[in-house]
Amino acid sequence: MSSESEPVRFDPKDVLTFLKIDRQQAAKKILTDRQIKFTEIYEKVGDENLQQQAGRCLDCGNPYCEWKCPLHNYIPNWLELSANDRFEDAATLMHQTNPLPEICGRVCPQDRLCEQACTLNTGFGAVTIGAIEKSIADRSLENGWRPDLSAIPETGKRVAIIGAGPAGLGCAELLCRNGVKAVVFDQYPQIGGLLTFGIPGFKLEKEIIQKRRDFLEDIGVEFKLNTHVGSDVSFEDLEEKYDAVFLGMGTYNSVEGELAGRDNQGVIKALDYLIGNINQQQSYAMKNYPYYDLQHKRVIVLGGGDTAMDCVRSAIRQQAETVRCVYRRTEIDMPGSRQEVQNAREEGVEFVFNLQPTAILSENGKVSGVEFNSTESTTGEPGKTVFLQADAVIIAFGFKASPADWFQSNNISTLDNGLVQTRPSTQPHLPYSQQTNISGVFAGGDMVRGADLVVTAIAEGREAAREILDYLQV
């Protein structure tokens, strides 16, 4: 392995680079800054480091990283381009499969997807695929890179997309690349959906969203924001005026767990808390999302996913007195990113495992703490009652379907759980089509599959775009 006293001369053609250069993640900013600022925690990576880390790739004949990625990104190919200082070519190749690489490089759980599948993860340290993807995509946006679509003929077709989240943006970008006009409607004042309003700035700074918006508008995507389908414009109007419609509205109803005391003052839904923070930071003045200030409060966050990590790390930055994340099973069972758990620990979050919440307790209507039953079997005391004090409790159990009130009147079929029902797929490698029961109306992302990853929503938006192109016969 490499050592600081003997620097390694990097050769992109050396197939043994992975033996000579260690996996090196992007440096983090100093902890005291991270604990108070809502800015991204990773330093920028220099060109030389990018080349060296990309050069560690083995270029496997059967690239497991590519298969593990829901978008099937051409990872070994753009790693090779990066290793050879061909960053613009690498960015071009990235965009062939992923319309939001700078987003995925930041928020994808690479430790459970591409990097987990990396062959070098078996003892040498996986290639830092996420950091390289983020850095290359950032360079392309900063340098004003745009694809040349001059040879793409305009089809004259128009598609209405409801929802400017990952699924909607993935669909819109691919349609525009094929000469179809995509018009995206969203009730919020900025594009991105939960990318903008649910993910804190320390994971994804909001200027990145604006840069991607500029990119999408430059290639022809039109956004109609602050527009609520159902009141500002009717679904019937969209069906009449557009050649097809795509539904990509996500899942916004919180899972609350039927906990006793969840209506007490001081109990906050995770998404309300996160959106309220961003609403205040960005001065969006959205009336339905108040700001929750947790300074000097004892905070408990219930849940173990990435949303829970967003909440605990936000509470730390608000200077809460204590922040505890309580999860009902063991740490290894937590569904969120291991990297996010590590970041939270470094910043001062305390983790408590094997406790199942049974009730949120209060005094004079205000939260005083949470009662739990122990689920720990190794101690010989499963079912033991535990009480933890708190001034604020954030419920981060996940999200469930939030079907629009106009679905029923327009005969859009949903499953018993409220998710939009789509037709069976005619392709053996896909579980279902993105076509709804209504001809010309497609759907994808969380509102079809349930709350899931950003990258899976993008993938379904792109698959819907392909099916729309077939439907329009263009």
All domains of the chain in start order, with CATH: 17-142 (1.10.1060.10), 158-251+401-472 (3.50.50.60), 255-399 (3.50.50.60)
Torsion on CA atoms 120, 125, 129, 132, rounded to nearest 10: -130
Tokens of 95: 């965009």
Q: Angle, to 10 degrees, between the axis of helix 454-472 and the axis of helix 166-176?
A: 40
Distances (CA, A) of 418 to 161, 203, 357, 413, 437: 20, 30, 26, 9, 15
Range list of β-strands (E), 85-157: none
Confidence of residue 165 (pLDDT cuts 50, 70, 90): very high
Q: Is 158 helix (H, G, I), strand (E, B) or coil?
A: strand
For residue 392, list its beta bridge partners.
299
Name residue 316's amino acid.
I
Which residues fall within 8 angstroms of residue 182, CB to CB, at 6 or more apart? 159, 161, 171, 172, 173, 175, 176, 220, 221, 222
Place of tokens 């050592």: 3
Average pLDDT over residues 124-143: 96
pLDDT digit string, tens, across residues 169-202: 999 999 999 999 999 999 999 999 999 999 999 9
Indicate whether 9 pLDDT > 80: no
58 close to 75: Cβ distance less than 8 angstroms: no
Which run of H or E residues covers position 385? strand 385-389
Give the number of other CB atoms < 10 A from CB of residue 416. 7
Please tell me the predicted confidence (pLDDT) of residue 431.
85
Average pLDDT over residues 258-272: 95
**392-395: strand order across its sheet:** 267-269, 392-395, 298-302, 322-326, 350-352
pLDDT digit string, tens, across residues 332-377: 999 989 999 999 999 999 999 999 999 999 999 899 999 999 997 6
Phi, psi of 456 (to 5 degrees): -70, -35
Please tell me the predicted confidence (pLDDT) of residue 377.
63
Place of tokens 């009902």: 328
pLDDT digit string, tens, across residues 80-113: 999 999 999 999 999 999 999 999 999 999 999 9
Please tell me the predicted confidence (pLDDT) of residue 2.
47
